[in-house]
A = this chain, B = another copy of it.
C-alpha cells in the first residue's frame, strides 16, 4: 500500500477509475460482477486490474473502503446525538440499509464478521467491529441492552435482519420493522 516511490500519474489515474467503476459494478451485479467487464468499463486492460488488485476481495474491499469508514464516523456522530440505545438502533439501521442498497457490500460485511475469514479483511472488519463495540458497550452501560451479547453477535444479527428484509423485497420499512423486533429481543431483561 505505502509505496516507496509515489505512484506514476497514469497508474494512479487507472487505479481510481477502477475503484469507481468497481463500486458501480458490484452495486449493480453483486459480489460476482465480472472483473474483465469492470476493466473494460474502466477503459483498461485486464492485466492492469489484476496488477492493482490481485484478488476479487481486494478490489471489493478497496471499492467500499470509504463507505465503511463513513460508517465508522457516523457511529460517533450518533453516539453524540442520541441516547446510547437509540444510537445503536439507528446505526444498525443505516448499516443494514447500506448492506442492501449496495449489493456488493453485503458480501463484504458478511465476510468481515465470519469466524474464519478475518484474515482477508483487516481494514473494513476493524472499522466496523470497532464502531459496533463502542455503541454496544455504551448501550449496555446504560442498561439499554442486555449484557450477555457480544458486539460481534449484534453485527451478525444485523446481517441476518438485512437478509430477512432482502427476502421481503429489501424495502427500508421492512428493515426498520425487523430491526425493531430484534431490538426488542435484545433489551435488558
- Let me know if B164 and A178 touch, CB within 8 A: no
What per-residue 1/0 map shows which CB atoms of A151-170 lie under 8 Å from chain B? 00100110111111101110
- A68 contacts the other chain (CB 8 A): no
- A110 contacts the other chain (CB 8 A): yes
Most buried by B among A113, A157, A167, A183: A167
Residues of A44-97 at the interface with B, using a CB-CB cut-off of 8 Å, are: none
- A114 contacts the other chain (CB 8 A): yes
Task: Work out how many copies of this chain go into the complex.
Answer: 2
CA distance A6 to B46 in the complex (A): 54
- Let me know if B184 and A114 touch, CB within 8 A: no
CA distance A160 to B185 in the complex (A): 14
Contacting A185 at CB < 8 Å: which of B116, B156, B184? Answer: B184
**CB nearest to A169 among chain B residues:** B115
- Let me know if A160 and B169 touch, CB within 8 A: no
Q: Interface of A with B (CB < 8 Å)? A: 110, 113-116, 149, 153, 156-157, 159-165, 167-169, 178, 181-186, 189
Complex A-B: 11 CB contacts under 8 Å? A110-B167, A114-B169, A156-B164, A157-B160, A160-B163, A163-B164, A181-B185, A182-B185, A183-B185, A184-B184, A185-B185
